[in-house]
Amino acid sequence: MENRNLPPEFLAATAEMIRILGHGQRLQILEYLDLHGESNVGDIVTALAAPQGAISQHLNKMRLAGVLECRRDRREVYYRIAEERAVTILNCLRKKFAELQNIKG
Amino acid sequence: MENRNLPPEFLAATAEMIRILGHGQRLQILEYLDLHGESNVGDIVTALAAPQGAISQHLNKMRLAGVLECRRDRREVYYRIAEERAVTILNCLRKKFAELQNIKG
DNA sequence: TCAATAAATCATGATATATTAATAATAACT
DNA sequence: AGTTATTATTAATATATCATGATTTATTGA
Using a CB-CB cut-off of 8 Å, the residues of chain A touching B8 are 24, 28
User: Over the stretch B7-58, which tens digit does the pLDDT of each residue have?
Assistant: 999 999 999 999 999 999 999 999 999 999 999 999 999 999 999 999 999 9
Taking Cα atoms as reference points, which of B41, B26, B36 lies closest to residue B77? B41
How far in angstroms lies nucleotide C2's C1' from the CA of residue B100? 53
Domain-wise residue ranges, chain A: 12-103
Distance (Å, rounded) from C-alpha B86 to C-alpha A102?
21
Instruction: Kindly report the pTM of this predicted structure.
Output: 0.92
How far in angstroms lies nucleotide C24's C1' from the CA of residue B28? 27
Considering the segment(s) A12-103 as one domain, its CATH architecture is Orthogonal Bundle (1.10)
Using a CB-CB cut-off of 8 Å, the residues of chain A touching B18 are 18-19, 21-22, 27, 89
Distance (Å, rounded) from C-alpha B29 to C-alpha B34?
9
Band of pLDDT at residue A1, cut at 50, 70 and 90 = very low
Q: How many CB atoms lie within 10 A of CB A34?
A: 16
User: Taking 60 as the threshold, does the pLDDT of residue B2 lie above it?
Assistant: no
Return the pLDDT at B1: 46
Dihedral of CA A37/A41/A46/A49: which sign? positive
Give me the mean pLDDT over the A88-93 stretch: 95
